[in-house]
């Protein structure tokens, strides 16, 4: 069946994990690092960089480097590079391709299946976009799983105790909080709340704004209009934020941050933890109402919470930890690296999806008990249809567990209607149009009759990925219409998706060819060096023939003719073997 990997596709960093006989493990990337920056860069030479290379080159590649694309998933946002537009799904697919390729290199086998995590508060459109990104990257997305649930799986599955966990997930671009009850290996989500546009990136922006204002006051120059300077400020802000989790103050020095008529100017200042907390205090406080709402929705009190689990890089910040501690009156747990716990949980989720045998079966029995983990998810949004006078007819209530199915009966509002359209919305507002529009379910061919007589049954089904399927049926005739919600304003069409999949495959093929070419070049350079040592010591007809082949190899290398290089290397290797054997 093949290995299924768990992927945490993060706003600022991403990670891959797999289930091994000793439990879930993080797969290191090509640099040997456990997390990969979710950054994509487009060089002027047409190369696409992903990860640390893209992040390091951002200052020299301003306007061609994409950060935090996850914040735009499920929207009409586009990245424009050299006149070409890229959707959030395409950019995310490039990150996923990098993770996929690094994992394949690590294990020496093709990876085709994945569980991908998303914030619990992601909408239907955002989940669809994430799934599309996985498919573009060449992955069969076996499941979309909520990040807090994944974290709870990684933390709680081997504890072998019943408990109620509050997962406080504060990442680079999103925040959500979930209340999860664990009973006899069953993980039931009781409540979800959050903010998909609140994260560590916002902390960085506050520091950048402070640096811009500080420099303006000291040097009289506004760096806010200088793209290259701003990128250097962003890098410095992120580094300062990280350092202030360990020290009380940090020194910021950016040499030659800008150039004026008087020459280059450097930025130099000190940022204290107290000042940083003043800059971001209101952002941290914004996480309190979602915690309150989640507790209320779960019908629990903080006294009933056994464990508070911190997830996401932003939870390293002391102010965040103190806020959670004071609000919950509990000592938060950070037992697993906060940037890795979600990917590890996604790997645990693969146990549910794949046959368990051999070493993995032994692991499950000894660490987790005989049974596979059971996860009962819930949706944080109501789902329904728009009715007469813009009323919102809820079909699936907020906080419903899923997979689930619900239905309701509707009728016509005009005499002898032969078709009815049901606009589908997601949200909590009583006015339908004030919620998020998802798609249009239209049924035609119903029996003409006076208004109020036809009975149209509308069925909503939330699948295991929390993606909505809808069906309308005329109960009198059996005529029906089914759709999988496409979030029509943002969902990729099949033609566009096919094109993106083809382009993604071409990028991988090009990358692999380049990797082979680089390997051949390295081997050729080594063989030429070995040949030149022989040429310096020996003479004769064979040596002259060898000299001719070395000259040809150098020409082929300069021309980038990989096939010709390989042929010449074979001939040089044969000659060297004969000469060295002859002494």
| Catalytic residue IDs | 8, 70, 147, 169
Contacts of 94 (CB under 8 A, 6+ apart): 40, 48, 50, 137, 504, 507
- CA–CA distance, 411 with 414 (Å, rounded to integer): 9
Residue 66: CA count within 13 A, CB half-sphere: 29
Among 438, 362, 519, smallest CA distance to 123 is for: 438
Do the bridges between strand 419-426 and strand 374-378 make them parallel or antiparallel, or are there none, so unpaired? unpaired
SS3 123: coil
What six digits make up the tokens of 557? 């290398």
CB 215 within 8 A of CB 267: yes
Do the bridges between strand 419-426 and strand 383-386 make them parallel or antiparallel, or are there none, so unpaired? antiparallel
- CA–CA distance, 98 with 84 (Å, rounded to integer): 21
What six digits make up the tokens of 157? 């599955």
Among 123, 230, 120, smallest CA distance to 171 is for: 120
CB 34 within 8 A of CB 15: yes
The number of angstroms, rounded, from the C-alpha of 469 to the middle of its chain's C-alpha atoms is 24
Neighbours of 188 (CB within 10 A): 17
CB 497 within 8 A of CB 132: yes
Q: Any idea which residue has 């040429």 for tokens? A: 535
Contacts of 457 (CB under 8 A, 6+ apart): 407, 408, 409, 410, 472, 473, 475
CB 101 within 8 A of CB 111: no
- CA–CA distance, 65 with 483 (Å, rounded to integer): 37
**Is it true that the peptide bond before 403 is cis, omega within 30 degrees of 0?**
yes
Q: Give the 3-state secondary structure percentages of the chain, helix then strand then coil, rounded to 5.
A: 40, 30, 30
Contacts of 456 (CB under 8 A, 6+ apart): 409, 410, 411, 412, 420, 443, 446, 472, 473, 474, 475
- CA–CA distance, 479 with 564 (Å, rounded to integer): 66
Provide the sign of the torsion angle of the four alpha carbons 316, 319, 322, 328, taken in this order: negative
Provide the sign of the torsion angle of the four alpha carbons 222, 225, 227, 231, taken in this order: positive
CB 192 within 8 A of CB 146: yes
What six digits make up the tokens of 542? 């064979």
């Amino acid at each position: 069946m093949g290995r299924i990997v768990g992927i945490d596709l993060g706003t600022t960093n991403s990670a891959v994990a797999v289930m091994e006989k000793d439990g879930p493990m993080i797969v290191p990337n090509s640099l040997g690092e456990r997390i990969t920056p979710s950054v994509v860069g487009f060089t002027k030479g047409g190369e696409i960089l992903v990860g640390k290379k893209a992040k390091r080159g951002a200052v020299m590649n301003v306007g061609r480097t994409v950060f935090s694309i996850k914040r735009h998933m499920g929207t009409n946002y586009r990245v424009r590079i050299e006149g070409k537009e890229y959707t959030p799904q395409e950019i995310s697919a490039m990150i996923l391709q990098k993770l996929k390729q690094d994992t394949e290199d690590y294990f020496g086998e093709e990876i085709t299946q994945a569980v991908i995590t998303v914030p619990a508060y992601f909408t239907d459109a955002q989940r669809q976009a994430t799934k599309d990104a996985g498919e573009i990257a060449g992955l069969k997305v076996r499941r979309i799983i909520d990040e807090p649930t994944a974290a709870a799986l990684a933390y709680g599955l081997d504890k072998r105790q019943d408990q109620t966990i509050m997962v406080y997930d504060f990442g680079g671009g999103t925040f959500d909080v979930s209340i999860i009850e664990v009973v006899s290996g069953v993980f039931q989500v009781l409540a979800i709340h959050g903010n998909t546009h609140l994260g560590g990136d916002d902390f960085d922006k506050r520091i950048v704004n402070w640096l811009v204002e500080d420099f303006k006051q000291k040097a009289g120059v506004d760096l806010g209009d200088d793209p290259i300077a701003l990128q250097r400020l962003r890098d410095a802000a992120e580094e300062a934020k990280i350092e202030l989790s360990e020290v009380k103050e940090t020194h910021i020095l950016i040499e030659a941050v800008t150039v004026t008529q008087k020459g280059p100017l450097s930025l130099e200042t000190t940022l204290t933890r107290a000042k940083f907390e003043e800059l971001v205090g209101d952002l941290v406080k914004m996480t309190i109402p979602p915690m309150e709402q989640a507790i209320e929705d779960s019908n629990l009190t903080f006294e009933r919470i056994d464990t508070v689990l911190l997830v996401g890089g932003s939870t390293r910040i002391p102010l965040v930890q103190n806020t959670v501690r004071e609000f919950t009156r509990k000592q938060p747990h950070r037992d697993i690296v906060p940037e890795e716990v979600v990917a590890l949980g996604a790997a645990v989720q693969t146990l549910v999806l794949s046959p368990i045998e051999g070493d993995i079966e032994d692991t499950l029995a000894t660490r987790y008990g005989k049974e596979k983990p059971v996860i009962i998810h819930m949706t944080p949004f109501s789902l329904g249809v728009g009715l007469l006078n813009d009323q919102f007819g809820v079909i699936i209530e907020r906080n419903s567990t899923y997979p689930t199915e619900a239905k309701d009966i509707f009728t016509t509002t005009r005499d002898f209607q032969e078709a009815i359209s049901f606009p589908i919305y997601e949200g909590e507002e009583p006015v339908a149009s004030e919620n998020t529009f998802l798609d249009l379910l239209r049924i035609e061919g119903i029996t003409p009759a006076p208004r109020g007589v036809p009975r149209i049954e509308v069925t909503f089904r939330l699948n295991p990925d929390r993606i909505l399927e809808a069906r309308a049926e005329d109960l009198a005739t059996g005529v029906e219409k089914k759709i999988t919600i496409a979030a029509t304003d943002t969902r990729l069409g099949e033609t566009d998706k096919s094109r993106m999949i083809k382009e993604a495959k071409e990028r991988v093929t090009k990358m692999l060819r380049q990797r082979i070419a680089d390997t051949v070049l390295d081997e050729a350079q080594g063989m030429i060096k070995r040949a030149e040592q022989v040429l310096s010591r020996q003479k004769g007809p064979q040596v002259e023939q060898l000299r001719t082949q070395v000259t040809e190899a150098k020409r082929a290398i300069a021309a980038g003719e990989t096939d010709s290089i390989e042929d010449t290397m074979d001939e040089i290797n044969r000659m060297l073997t004969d000469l060295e054997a002859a002494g």
